[in-house]
Amino acid sequence: MHKAVETIGILGAGRVGTALARRAVAAGYDVRVATSKPPADIALLLEIMVPGAQADEAAAVIAAADIVILALPLSKYHELQPDLFAGKIVVDVMNYWAPTDGAIAEFEGARSSSEVVQDYLTGARLVRSFNHMGYHEIEEAARPSGHPGRRALALAGNDAEARRLVAGFIDRIGFDPVDAGGLAAGRTFATATPIFGASLGRAEMQQALQEEATSSA
């Protein structure tokens, strides 16, 4: 019997992290947030920005969470402690965007940034998602299941069970999950692809992912 996802841990309290935290709280999850600052330093911020979320140390957030969301600047991923993520389902929402991040050699190759992060977090069950949607849309575009205007979110990861559980989280907070397959498929909805920033329904997303996979093969 599969364990139900009840606790969502979010590393990062910027615009994306707080938007996801608010949607998760609204969906009934136990939400815990950590940053590089002591919990006491972000407790007031969360009380204002994400009522119902709890501030804690990163190690405690990771240990308690059924799903951990990486909502950090991508350049800071090397500050994470890989051993803390062993066996954990981890959602990578980070993007590499050279015009704002500056050129970072390890992300300039053909592989997606999530594949690079997976190599670092070797024991994590990494899933890429949310990266092709603006932080404001995480709340504005959320719709109940079955709504005709419900927007789709792509996800990719090498662990099928992790993808299934993350898909359930995506559905519960207001979007139609579309499974793109293995982590390498994250390249099909990366920055500069037609899917990035596009508002697509489930069928449109499935078609767009197929087209992008074909064109980049």
Report the share of the chain in percent with pLDDT over 70.
Answer: 98
Q: Which residues contact 61 (CB under 8 A, 6 or more apart)?
A: 9, 10, 11, 32, 33, 34, 68
Q: How far is CA 46 from CA 24, 64, 131, 182, in A?
A: 13, 18, 22, 34
Q: Digits of tens for pLDDT over the chain (217 positions)? A: 467 899 999 999 999 999 999 999 999 999 999 999 999 999 999 999 999 999 999 999 999 999 999 999 998 999 999 999 999 999 999 988 777 777 777 788 778 899 999 999 999 999 999 999 999 999 999 999 999 999 999 999 999 999 999 999 999 999 999 999 999 999 999 988 999 999 999 999 999 999 999 987 6
pLDDT reported for residue 1: 45
Q: What angle do CA 17, 75, 97 make, to 5 degrees?
A: 85
pTM, two decimal places = 0.95
CB 101 within 8 A of CB 75: yes
Strands 67-70, 176-181: pairing kind: unpaired
**Which residues have a Cβ under 8 Å from the Cβ of 99 and sit 6 or more positions away?**
none
Q: Which two tokens stand for residue 39?
A: 């919990």
Q: How far apart are the first and last CA of the chain?
A: 38
**Alpha helix (H) ranges present in the chain?**
15-26, 39-49, 58-64, 98-101, 113-120, 137-140, 160-172, 202-216
Q: What is the per-residue pLDDT for 35?
A: 96
Domain ranges of the chain: 7-216
Among 3, 122, 112, 24, which Cα is nearest to 69's?
24
Residues whose CB falls within 8 Å of the CB of residue 20, separated by 6 or more in sequence, listed in order: 8, 10, 69, 71, 93, 130, 138, 173
Which of 3.40.50.720, 3.10.270.10, 1.20.1250.20, 1.20.120.80 would CATH assign to domain 7-216? 3.40.50.720
- Integer Cα distance of 192 and 174 in angstroms: 25
pLDDT of residue 2: 60
Q: What is the reported pLDDT for 191?
A: 87
Count of other CB atoms within 10 angstroms of residue 209: 23
